[in-house]
Structure 1
Amino acid sequence: MPSPRPRLLYVSDLAYQARDRRYCDEDIFLTSRLREDFHLALCHPRDTAALMDTFDAVVVRNSGPVLGYQAEYDAFRAKATASGARVYNQLTGRADMAGKQYLLDLSAAGHPVIPTVDRLADLHRLPETAEYVVKPKFGADSVGLTMVTADRLPALTDGTVLVQPRIDFAYEVSFYFVDHDFQYALHAPYTDRRWDLEPYEPTDGDLEFARGFIDWNTVEHGIQRVDACRAPGGELLLVELEDLNPYLSLDVLDEAGRDAFVAAFKESLRGFLDR
């Protein structure tokens, strides 16, 4: 049973150089607030498996792309699964946590996602476009993403990448959830500045769209971010469902917004530990 003041192992790569974001600032803030209610130690993702045994839960936050430490991450997952360790986010996610196969599956099933294929023979399923977006199935943080014309696709489409049409969207918008509870939304009004974000007031239709993917996923306890773009026809299309370690852009919120998120985060963690 957890101690009266549970012990958390908080996983972050404070030195990771993210484009236009400072992971370390967000995690310094969050750990300072979590310490109000929990005993907490911070570790690099490479050290998680070696340190996790003496903690009540492992909290995975801004740990960077798994590609940078794949062997250590696989060892951590295997150990956590075998021991029944509590990991937050739960390791049951079937979105980015498991690679990007879900974009193929959702696209094939007719969900509102950017049309996606992984075989040249299926290219006819995509709308005609001057350029295509090619991304690794196990990429993250735009690592390996490239934009190409159709004549370059045969050399790239080898089963390890996804192919999508390049869409002239109006803007990108992200919806942030703790467990299944919506917290806030932010959007990037300038298409060439993904992380230049502003608060966004979602419509009922926007929230219905985002909740559909949260409900589809299998994470009961954790923080998830639904990334979407506003297509030329006005509809939202899923870009990514980040269910492993989504950056939260808390610096964009005002103090009341940050306090509300921290309260929801703490409540979620307490409920997770009390299961």
Structure 2
Amino acid sequence: MSARPRLLYVTDLAYPARGRRYCDEDIHLTARLRADFDLALCHPLDAAALMDGFDAVVVRNSGPVLGYQEAYDAFRERATARGTLVYNPLHGRGDMAGKQYLLDLTAAGYPVIPTVERAEDLHRLPEAAAYAVKPKAGADSIGLRFLAYEELAGLSYGELLVQPRVDFRYEVSFYFVDDRFQYALYAPDPERRWVLEPYEPTADDLDFARRFIDWNTLDHGIQRVDACRAPGGELLLVELEDLNPYLSLDRVPEPVRERFADALVHSLRAFLKAS
């Protein structure tokens, strides 16, 4: 490895996101990373063909893999076969591996929105005015539907998950680099979930988020723990993002952005050294 490691930074700069510009985030981060690494950007469709010329591949705002599932699977297979370093590492147990973790965490008694995948398990869900039905491989609310309870029995199960629709007070996200908490953001208006503001977490909030970071066992990487504040005041996990979580860095003060970028540089250097 050279004195300045070479990173292939995977991003879809043209990805259309409602109310947000994902490309701005990657422009900011890559500008900071160039101070410590030799860096090139590429589209996710090009990653498998280009990655051999780099010391590691950093997957960032590459968009939902449902849009290029075959290419993503080929990238993972090639990276695994060649021993290519990928950040985040490919053994993540959260959204990187689909939505199975919601079932696993439900079964293990974690504070997560209760989730089932079979018609015969519907009775395990709490009563609700409506139920969310989503594909196991979904992302960005793709394929999400809300149905009445009597409509659930007729679904074709196998690749679907069902959850009660929670009348939450607000959603909040906790952002981590490795196991170190960086900042939190929340959407005070449930109808405008993409309008985020800084959130000051309590000690209990951080204990909640760290349970899922610990469960995921990623020594290095960026993770986002998405939760909702239920009517009773408790937090419930919505998603554990460990593939390419958008960071909403434009919603935090400049010192927080710089501290996050420094933490990312430190994490990448430790990841390369450990590997």
Give the % identical residues: 73
Match of 1:146 in 2: 145
Amino acid in the other structure paired with 1:102? Y
Counterpart Cα distance in 2 of 1:251 and 1:152: 41
What TM-score results when the alignment is normalised by the length of structure 2?
0.98
CA RMSD of aligned residues (A): 0.8
Secondary structure at 2:91's aligned position in 1? coil
Amino acid in the other structure paired with 2:92? G
> What are the ranges of 5 or more consecutive residues in structure 1 without an aligned counterpart?
none
The alignment of Structure 1 onto Structure 2 pairs a total of residues equal to 274
> Residue deviations 1:175-202, cap 9 Å, x none?
0000010000001100011110000010
Match of 1:201 in 2: 200
Give the conservation status (yes or no) of the 8 Å contact 1:119–1:157. no
Structure 1 residue 177 corresponds to structure 2 residue 182: no
Counterpart Cα distance in 2 of 1:14 and 1:155: 40
Match of 1:22 in 2: 21
Deviation of the 1:19 alpha carbon: 2.1
Match of 1:166 in 2: 165
Counterpart Cα distance in 1 of 2:118 and 2:160: 9
Match of 2:40 in 1: 41
Deviation of the 1:107 alpha carbon: 0.5
Give the conservation status (yes or no) of the 8 Å contact 1:104–1:116. yes
Amino acid in the other structure paired with 1:74? D
Give the alignment of 1:59-70 within 5 angstroms. 59-70=58-69
Deviation of the 1:117 alpha carbon: 0.5
Match of 1:129 in 2: 128
> Residue deviations 1:88-141, cap 9 Å, x none?
001110110000011011101111000000111111111111100111100011
Amino acid in the other structure paired with 1:93? G
Q: Which runs of 4+ in 1 moved over 3 A?
A: none
Give the alignment of 1:1-275 within 5 angstroms. 2-275=1-274
Amino acid in the other structure paired with 1:233? G
Deviation of the 1:241 alpha carbon: 0.2
Secondary structure at 1:134's aligned position in 2? strand
Secondary structure at 1:228's aligned position in 2? strand
Amino acid in the other structure paired with 1:170? R
> Residue deviations 1:137-175, cap 9 Å, x none?
000111111111123223334121110001111100000
Counterpart Cα distance in 2 of 1:157 and 1:208: 37
Amino acid in the other structure paired with 1:254? P
What TM-score results when the alignment is normalised by the length of structure 1?
0.98
Amino acid in the other structure paired with 1:103? L
Secondary structure at 1:162's aligned position in 2? strand
Deviation of the 1:41 alpha carbon: 0.5
